[in-house]
Structure 1
């Protein structure tokens, strides 16, 4: 199989899983900077054939698809700071189309694309499934929806099978975004603005890797579009309490009123816009406290013969242990890194 984004957070976990199951894996990575180098070397040592390339430049990877029976496409722009609509369109839509066309040219049987469950909306009553109306929230989600459409169009036109998996928010060890969190870890407290009733539905990265591997081979998955989510959605307050428990913290932080912070965020954002500076707090960041969504992945479970196994307590514990291994003996400040995981879902 051929994997794009092979050195990224999800991609690297997937490659590890595929290699462990005996698959031959060729992969593409864009950057070989220090934050990627360890995973690249580790994957090569385990038997993966990796090359550096760019999904916007098919000539850098097209020949590597020769002989592949399946392509798993993870490479994408993910809410990069300051990126505009055109950037996401180029990376996530044009880049995906390039990979899909290269797969067709190489005679690949199946194309498995990593979409996002975010296209269904951030605040949705009830439980979201594949029949729920689509309401993309931002540039990233609009581009991922457009990428889904290109995959469907290119694959269907060429007779290539496709599978689109739409994961909820993904977490687990080695998430590159954790690096940003160390800078704020010394704060040691996570404030909860409002009651924290909004539901959060996460999926642990190894559960997601398992779903993607099954999507490569399950005959019944051909031409399906499936939501993949963790065992259950929980209210924000319960999530924070779970993180505090696994971090051996007496509490996750103070509970504060939400409305004043919403007003402050609006004032700060508007003022910084006039001054042409980056706002330290803004409306979309505060959306984190307003979001409320739960997902039904029963269709994926049935089609793929798949089941999410890792609950939040186990997943957060494993993530914290990985943080501690990477940074040495834990301190109280380091324990708060896991609490800061919640900022991953504010951008």
Structure 2
């Protein structure tokens, strides 16, 4: 990989020792590779040893950190200047909500506390705009009502609230703590949205609902930028602050699907499926698959993609972080499809 030129905005990261948790995941992996590409001193952590070994095989620094562990976290943050906590339990169907709580809330807080005790200067917590659920205020602001709709979102909200409460008690010159809430992140190396892209490009996609639901995506490069913005912005702009992050403007699902289809050179069926019967089917699948600890073929969370509005006001991120979205949805969709095709996924 050719070295990346570090932008002037992020020059202050030079000389810092950086830790990225969740480095085997889509977002954490992208952040780790960006920082390493800049030639910075960065270590990634993974949940499982083989994942760390795979990163080391790429020439990256990696170690194992289990946020559910009862072992102390201080050894992982000793001599670290900046921590990006991206690690989270997400769509792990074999675990109940108590385990999600242990990782996404209790483990995240424990790591933040260990970082403060070790003298870390910046702690950036990755949360999710999902804490707002099906947004009632459009566009949704950071101060809009919370409406978490599943165990993942509930425990991510519990984690960010606990971390912010802890941070408010830190000394005035203590560790700077910031919460970054990504929207639906997509782009090269992501496969979570592959099913949507593939069905559209195969000509098999059928819209659930009226297609007027708002989506607000975040291209991976923009999301990584936002984390770095959190790490370099002045203390008085970001300490104990929360930022919703996305790319471009909200887009109706009908328009998003049409955009994918146009780039792929296919047409989209005009007929649509009513929501109510599928919602009932999703509930039934969840109930039937739950005893086996496996992911059901249909879930209410998946159906919620077609029914829950997601539209976010990025004003605060622009003003306090200096965050600028560089990717509009059309460019992001094209880049994603190109990557899927290059990897033989579509």
Q: TM-score, normalised by structure 1?
A: 0.83
Matched residues in 2 for 1:39 and 1:185: separation? 33
Matched residues in 2 for 1:288 and 1:179: separation? 14
Which stretch shows the higher mean deviation, 295-304 or 316-325? 316-325
How far did residue 75 of structure 1 move?
0.3
Distance change (3 Å), C-alpha of 1:216 and 1:59: same
Counterparts of 1:230-241 in structure 2 under 5 Å? 230-241=247-258
Counterparts of 1:1-347 in structure 2 under 5 Å? 1-33=18-50, 39-42=55-58, 45=59, 48-57=60-69, 59=71, 62-159=74-171, 160-177=175-192, 188-219=203-234, 220-249=237-266, 251-259=267-275, 262-266=276-280, 269-270=283-284, 273=287, 280-327=297-344, 334-335=345-346
Aligned residues of 1:12 and 1:39 also touching (Cα < 8 A): no
Matched residues in 2 for 1:94 and 1:203: separation? 27
SS in 1 for 2:169: helix
Aligned residues of 1:70 and 1:111 also touching (Cα < 8 A): yes
How far did residue 40 of structure 1 move?
4.9
How far did residue 134 of structure 1 move?
1.4
Could you say which residue in structure 1 is the equivalent of 2:13? none
Could you say which residue in structure 1 is the equivalent of 2:15? none
May I ask how many residue pairs the two structures share in their alignment? 321
Aligned residues of 2:124 and 2:178 also touching (Cα < 8 A): yes
SS in 2 for 1:143: helix
Which stretch shows the higher mean deviation, 284-293 or 313-322? 284-293
Matched residues in 2 for 1:147 and 1:137: separation? 15
Aligned residues of 1:58 and 1:102 also touching (Cα < 8 A): no
How far did residue 55 of structure 1 move?
1.9
Gaps of 5+ in 1: 328-333, 336-347
SS in 1 for 2:113: helix
Matched residues in 1 for 2:315 and 2:204: separation? 36
SS in 1 for 2:67: coil
Aligned residues of 1:123 and 1:290 also touching (Cα < 8 A): no
Matched residues in 2 for 1:38 and 1:322: separation? 21
Distance change (3 Å), C-alpha of 1:40 and 1:77: farther
How far did residue 228 of structure 1 move?
0.8
Distance change (3 Å), C-alpha of 1:41 and 1:311: farther
Distance change (3 Å), C-alpha of 1:197 and 1:90: same
Residue by residue, what CA displacement relative to the aligned partner does 1:66-121 show, whole Å, maximum 9, x if unpaired? 22211100000113235422121111112102211220221111110001111112
Matched residues in 1 for 2:192 and 2:55: separation? 15
Gaps of 5+ in 2: 1-17
How far did residue 53 of structure 1 move?
2.5
